[in-house]
Structure 1
Amino acid sequence: MERETITAGDIRLRPFEEGDIPWVYEVSLDQRVQKYVQLPIPYRLADAEFFVREMAVAAWDNGSRAEFVVEPEAGGTARWGRVGFGLDGAGAGQIGYWMDPAARGRGVATAAVRALCRWGFEVLGLGLIEWRAEVGNHASRRVAEKAGFRVEAVLRQRLVHRGGRVDAWVGSMLPSELPTRPG
């Protein structure tokens, strides 16, 4: 799968590169990220290296994931977050995202999720995008709902977090449900 950059309004989604490793490490130390994202604890620089090199770059090359850094369209050095798909090879994607603390509460996550979903439907030809989050992750749920996802259910004990099973909210979006508002 060819790597692409997506521009939507005042944000740009670009593929990860080696230079993102220190930033991934710093954001992954944030308590809110660690609370809801399945990360090794303690989180080490080697974990950030693995994420960027294997889960972002190599997985893009083998077609199992499409991972992006969210940054201002105007360029510069700011990185606002991460958004990506796990791809099942059968026309569905599972979306995931987290934001740098400096970018939270500004609509960046919603704009990035919408842009990624539009790309997934229009370029990848996905027929379904699924969102899952641990019950209680209200920030992720707000982003998903604002982006156009329908929250469908609570799946009991569906996610594993810190070695234990937890309930998950699950939602989905079909191509016809993508909001017409850009970004």
Structure 2
Amino acid sequence: MDNGSIRAGWLSLRAFTVADVGWVFEVSQDPALQQFVQLPSPYLMEHARFFVECLAIEKVASGERAEFLAEDAETGERLGRVGLGMNANASAEVGYWVAPGARGRGVAPSAVRAVCRWAFAERQLELIEWRAEVGNEASRRVAQKVGFLMEGQLRRRLVHRGERVDAWIGSLLKDELEAGSEQSRSSAGH
């Protein structure tokens, strides 16, 4: 199944190709990314090749995932990645990261919003879930800007480098995104 491409203002979101392996390897060396993303350590070129070829190409073709590389629509500069792990019950879990040199430019909120809009329309999803390790404030800010409702904290729900860690969880419903909800929404006490 081909995801096609998505235009999101100054961003273009496209499918990964094998030509992106080197870029994924380079970005994955970033200490900030390694702090919160479950990456092998040390991160080798074979890991980048596996991500691109198996997860971002093969799993997309089978419909198990949707993966997009976000780039500057004018220059083609690679900026970040947004992916969805598809579930059988009309839901998915979103994940994203941005290259160090592209941070602070609004890449993640714009790309995540565009991919969620695409998923609700093209894949007929009803719910997209977001999870992040407690302390990953940057990911939480992005999710809130997109309109995810912060639902709470799950005890020891994620495994990071072999250790169980607490996770924040949020969700976005189709009608919330369509209503243009781009402001932070949070439940009391979270």
TM-score, scaled relative to structure 2: 0.93
2:188 maps to none
Q: What's the CA shift for 1:148? A: 0.6
1:150 touches 1:173 (CA, 8 Å); kept in 2?
yes
Q: What's the CA shift for 1:90? A: 2.0
2:3 touches 2:60 (CA, 8 Å); kept in 1?
yes
TM-score, scaled relative to structure 1: 0.96
Q: What's the CA shift for 1:73? A: 1.4
1:164 maps to 163
2:95 maps to 96
CA distance in 1, matches of 2:16, 2:130: 21
CA distance in 2, matches of 1:94, 1:12: 21
CA distance in 2, matches of 1:107, 1:131: 18
Partner letter of residue 72 of structure 1? D
2:146 touches 2:181 (CA, 8 Å); kept in 1?
no
For structure 1, which runs of at least 5 residues remain unmatched after alignment? none
Q: How does 1:25-40 map to 2 (within 5 A)?
A: 25-40=25-40
Larger RCO, structures 1/2 (Cα 8 Å, 6+ apart): 1
Partner letter of residue 135 of structure 2? G
Q: How does 1:127-138 map to 2 (within 5 A)?
A: 127-138=126-137
2:147 touches 2:181 (CA, 8 Å); kept in 1?
no
Partner letter of residue 18 of structure 1? V
- Percentage identity across paired residues of the two chains: 54
Could you list the per-position Cα deviations for residues 104-128 of structure 1 after superposition, in whole angstroms to 9, with x for gaps in the alignment?
0111100001000100111111000
- How many residue pairs match? The answer is 181
